[in-house]
Amino acid sequence: MKIIHVNAKTRAEVLDCLQKRSPNHDERTEQIVREILDTVKEKGDEALFACTKRFDGWDITAERCRVTQEEIDEAVQKTDPAFMRVLEKACENITDYHEKQKRSGWFHTRPDGVLLGQRVTPLASAGVYVPGGKAAYPSSTLMNVVPAKVAGVNRIVMVTPAGKDGRVNAGTLAAAKTAGVSEIYKVGGAQAVAALAYGTHTIPKVDKIVGPGNIYVATAKKLVFGQVAIDSIAGPSEILILADERANPRYAAADLLSQAEHDERASAILITTSEAFARAVEREIDGFLSVLPRKEILERSLEDYGFLLVVSDEEEAVSLADDIASEHVEIMTANPMETMAKLQNAGAIFLGDYSSEPLGDYFAGPNHVLPTNGTARFFSPLSVDDFIKKSSVIFYGKEALRAVHTGIELFAETECLSAHANSIRVRFEEEDRKGREA
């Protein structure tokens, strides 16, 4: 990894480098994905199944597309009972955390008889994308399904790629069973996003698509936005550690590598006030690289997007962290709560030496679907809020409207919207006529 003393020039260079990871800047991928989306939109199942054969390597049919209850039950039987217990406890923690996010509608009545309010209702349907094929992510199943269930979404549809044998990873299906989703289809990639957005004979369309995926999935979600809602356009994973000289360099190194192993485009960044600490972390990373199995991915990620940044003081450290706005921020300082109070931009914050990032990935309860590529400046983690919609409620009686109608008409006429003014005026035209005659 590169040890860099931060100044105005190096700061700008680091931020520019990190922005290159965004899926928003890949025109070639966008062209490929647009063609897939258009084909599935036009040809439905025919295109969906053809893309699945081409990209995933197995002959899918309408009869084999949906995961059967027997397949789900078989997967649970195959899963290590100890892992099932961990899944169940993780699901319990995630559910408990998201239950606290539930919103209620409200109504307020004023003395003049006006009633104003807000209704909160769940989405009717949601599509959950869970990565699969070469890797399995039971955790993503829990993190995407549970908040939808807590919100009260009636129809939750899960899509996930199958292997060349047409089977979905047993751990993923066990997690689906634990989370309570049974409508599962063996499709992935941009074609699965297209099916959820436009609908096919086999897979009816949904109102919103959530869940992480590769650059093709992220780009597909970006392109179907507006046809359906989406959670975010997720980029490669990232971690940022704020640490002072008292932190444990071995812990910091292990945590940086925990995210770098995801992807060659993942980012792992340390910001510290101590060059000696940065060098100690560098040594620990070299030691871990000699024993960890995903060495090639780790080395590529650290070479391209890994930084050990040395700053002058904590204020500069927090300022730089806010500019980066990382998906995961670990705070390993003498007073992590005090440091956190200065921080504005982060997807998830982990406090202290023992709140390692994988705790959030799997078990603690907060959602691990988080804003990436600096979007923590304005996006939030996936939550129950992503699966509800709010409707405003307005009631004015005649007397309440009479008291304000001339002002509303003036407002409308000022905007040259005479029909707006007229829709208020007609309700009092008889009264106004009589008043003028009197």
Catalytic residues: 327-328
C-alpha to C-alpha distance for 266 and 245, rounded to whole angstroms: 25
Within 8 A by CB and 6+ apart from 402, the residues are 428, 431
Backbone angles phi, psi at 108, to 5 degrees: -135, 125
State the residue for tokens 């369309």. Answer: 205
C-alpha to C-alpha distance for 371 and 9, rounded to whole angstroms: 26
Burial of 235 (C-beta count, 10 Å sphere; 0-12/13-18/19+): buried
Within 8 A by CB and 6+ apart from 374, the residues are 18, 19, 324, 325
- DSSP one-letter string for 73-113: HHHHHHS-HHHHHHHHHHHHHHHHHHHTT----EEEE-TTS
Tell me if 157 sits within 8 A of 187, measured CB to CB: no
**Cα atoms in the 13 Å half-sphere on the side-chain side of 50:** 9
Angle subtended at Cα 393 by Cα 388 and Cα 395, rounded to the nearest 5 degrees? 170
C-alpha to C-alpha distance for 10 and 31, rounded to whole angstroms: 34
Q: Bridge-partner residues for 309, per DSSP?
A: 4, 271
What 3-state class would DSSP assign to 309? strand
C-alpha to C-alpha distance for 161 and 169, rounded to whole angstroms: 9
Tell me if 98 sits within 8 A of 185, measured CB to CB: no
| Own/partner pairs, 226-232, CB within 8 angstroms, 24+ separation | 227/197, 227/198, 228/127, 228/196, 228/197, 229/123, 231/369, 231/382, 231/386, 232/369, 232/371, 232/372, 232/375, 232/379, 232/382
SS3 content of the chain, % helix, strand, coil (to 5): 50, 15, 35
Tell me if 230 sits within 8 A of 210, measured CB to CB: yes
Q: Could you tell me the end-to-end alpha-carbon distance of the chain, in angstroms, rounded to an integer?
A: 88
